[in-house]
Structure formats: structure tokens, C-alpha cells
Amino acid sequence: MKTIDELLGEGVEGKRVFVRADLNVPLDGTTITDDGRIRAVVPTVKALADAGARVVVASHLGRPKGAPDPAFSLAPAAARLGELLGAEVAFATDTVGESARTTVAGLADGGVAVIENLRFNAGETSKDDAERDAFAERLAALADLYVGDGFGAVHRKHASVFDLPGKLPHAAGYLIATEVGVLRKLTEDVRRPYAVVLGGAKVSDKLGVIDHLLEKADRILVGGGMAYTFLKAQGHEVGISLLQEDQIPAVKDYLKRAEDRGVEFVLPVDVLVSTEFPDLKTKAPANPATVAADAIPADQEGLDIGPETRKLYASKLADAATVFWNGPMGVFEHPDYAEGTKAVAQALVDSPAFSVVGGGDSAAAVRILGFDETAFGHISTGGGASLEYLEGKQLPGLVALED
């Protein structure tokens, strides 16, 4: 895989460089609530601009239906990128139309432009190879070189991620190079003990990675909504907690395989429960109760791991040499249910382990809960991409960047 440093060494002055970034940031209206993904691409964009390239930044945001939707405009992300670069960033109001062509044509050496949300064009995400290829051709007309730096999208077979690199000389940006290097540390020559913390809502989202990690990890800690399917598989009452009944056979199999292989599977011993889901807008007090994990009342819902589980999980992480964490331990967006996620984050900060926070809600939680990002070994920008890499899958966006 060619690196951006090699590309810079060959000279990029005056050349149009298409940077496939991941600017898929959370928005409250037009206000960005977490700019982590924008900050992550700044080193690549700045290096190209400083070398005299004419940089064309492209990304998706949200899930528009293949047509323009103001709610998913990249305009706020473009403005924030300009602030971070300390330079004006031009913005094209379409993807491959007149605005994009005019905006790119107007770039001076060292200039930066952002084109509108790629998913405003149905060709970006089309499952039809010809439709996707046709859109990629139109994107290719905007550039001379391609740099892939949107790690959060490399597991998608989309036009700008998979098809476009084949039409232009290409290289991997700094972010993708860093992400891949970190993930290799989780799959090759891993320092042990190797602990994995998995949370989030659905166990089905993590089936593949659990299956793969049973061959790699020394211990797996489970929290979040997915924990209740594990507790149910052990025969416990879970009340009205999030539950995927259809996954119970698979979960039972994982628990048995873990036991056979000597992999320690750690589940909550107590949880915070309530009869109703908290109001995440008003953050009104929820007044949860703490109960044993095997004694959840039939009319109650588990919403966070309890205090004893927090201590247990911290102890299981204290001696780890490598930790991968993906998924919050509870409804961290509400202060009454944030302590479990906060405890895991603090345990990683306190541990000497090489710690990787696997993107998505986990990365957002670290920032929202006020932790110093530099206290962790690495915070990934791509939760889904990280998980699929750890499952051993080939990621289309990485395959496309290989020479």
C-alpha cells in the first residue's frame, strides 16, 4: 500500500488531489457535537496543501436517500475544517455538478475545497457495479490523484471508497496508515494478557468479532444492551431489558467455546435498572435501582452496569497488556447511566496497557465524558471498520488502496 509520504516525495504541487475523508460527524441541527473525525483528517489535508496540492475533500454524512437533503449537508463540516486548518475552505453545493467543477477549477495551489455529501448521489452506495462505476468516473474527472483517508468507510464497497482509487494513482493517508498499524497490533504479535471489552446495544452486531476473538483474546468483558442476551442465555431473568432471543443459541455456543479454550468471559454481576428509558433531552433524574444481574425484576430494564461490576471490570483490565474496547456499558448519554462507561474508560487510563478505543459510541463517550484522548493508546475513527478488520474480513477500501 503506497503511503502519502511516498506521494508527497513524488511531488504534488499544482495537482488536484481527491481526499476521501470521513467527515460523518454528529450534528444537532447545524451544530457539530463531536468534531473528532474532522480533526483526524487534518494532518493529511494540511500536508497536501502545504506541498502545493489543490485538495478536494469528499465524504458522506448520515444516510440520505441518494438525493440532496439539507439535514445532511457537509457545509458545517467544511466550515469546521477551515477553522482547524486556519485557512479558507471552499464549499461545492453538489458532488459532481457545476458547483463542484467550478469550485475545483477555482482552487489555487495549496487551496482546499469540500464537495457536498457523496450520498446525495445514488451512485455512491449503489449495489449496481455499472451505476457505481459511472459515479466514480465523474468523481475522477475532478482530480489527478487519490488519497484514501476515510477509515470509517473502508468497510463499504462504495464508489468513492472502492471504485475511484482504481481510476487514479492512489495512496493511503496518515489516518488510514495509523489505523491499520494499530489494528495489526491487535491481531499480530499481541502483547498479553489481551482483554476485550464489548458493549453497545445488539449482540448481533458483535457476533463476527466475538467468534474471531475467541481465538485471540485472553478475556472478554461484556456490557451494554448486548449483555442481557448473555445473561438470558445463562438462564437469568432480564425483565424488559434489550434482548435478542434469536441470538441465544449462538451466545450459548460462544460461552461454551470460551470455557473450552480457557478464554475468560466476564459478565455483569449487578446492573442499574428502571421501569422506563431515561429522557436523553431533558436529562431529568431517572433514579435507577441497583440489583444483582441474576435478579432483574420482570418489569425493569437494565440500563448500565452496577458498582460491583465496575470494580470487577476495572480489576480485569488492571493487569492487561493490550485492551480493545468497543461499545458503551450503558446509556452513557444520561448522567444516571454514565458511570459504567466512565469506569471502563478510567480503567484504561489507569492501565499501562496499549489501549484501543474502537470508534463509534465508545469514541464519542470518551470525549463527551471529558477524558483526555491522549491518555489512550489510540481512539479509532471507525467502529464498524475496526470490528470487521478484527473479524478477519477483507475491507474493500483497503483492498482498493493496495498496489
The secondary structure of residue 374, as a DSSP letter, is G
| Residues 147 and 48 sit within 8 Å (Cβ to Cβ) | yes
> What's the angle, vertex CA 286, arms to CA 282 and CA 290, rounded to 5?
155
Q: Where are the beta strands (DSSP E) in 121-169?
A: 145-148
Show binding-site residues for ATP: 206, 302, 333, 359-362
Q: Which helix (H) or strand (E) holds 222?
A: strand 219-222
Cell of 256: 461454551
End-to-end CA distance of the chain: 6
Which residue numbers are catalytic?
Answer: 37, 202, 360, 384
Q: What is the pLDDT of residue 75?
A: 98
Q: What is the pLDDT of residue 205?
A: 85
Residues near 292 by Cβ (< 8 Å), separated by ≥ 6?
A: 269, 270
Q: What is the pLDDT along the chain (403 residues), one digit of tens a residue?
A: 999 999 999 999 999 999 999 999 999 899 998 898 999 999 999 999 999 999 999 999 999 999 999 999 999 999 999 999 999 999 999 999 999 999 999 999 999 999 999 999 999 999 999 999 999 999 999 999 999 999 999 999 999 999 999 999 999 999 999 999 999 999 888 999 999 999 998 888 888 899 999 999 999 999 999 999 999 999 999 999 999 999 999 999 999 999 999 999 999 999 999 999 999 999 999 989 999 999 999 999 999 999 999 999 999 999 999 999 999 999 999 999 999 999 999 999 999 999 999 867 888 899 889 999 899 999 998 888 998 998 889 999 999 999 7
Show binding-site residues for substrate: 22-24, 37, 60-63, 119, 156
Nearest alpha-carbon partner for 209 in 61, 326, 380, 85: 326
Q: Which helix (H) or strand (E) holds 47?
A: helix 36-50
The two beta strands, 16-20 and 145-148, are parallel
- φ and ψ at 271, to 5 degrees? -140, 160
Q: What is the pLDDT of residue 316?
A: 97
Q: What is the pLDDT of residue 17?
A: 98
Q: What is the pLDDT of residue 363?
A: 87
Q: Is 269 helix (H, G, I), strand (E, B) or coil?
A: coil
Show binding-site residues: 22-24, 37, 60-63, 119, 156, 206, 302, 333, 359-362
Q: What is the pLDDT of residue 202?
A: 86
Nearest alpha-carbon partner for 66 in 144, 127, 143, 147: 127
User: pTM higher than 0.85 for the full model?
Assistant: yes
Q: What is the pLDDT of residue 188?
A: 87
Cell of 121: 448521489
Q: What is the pLDDT of residue 361?
A: 83
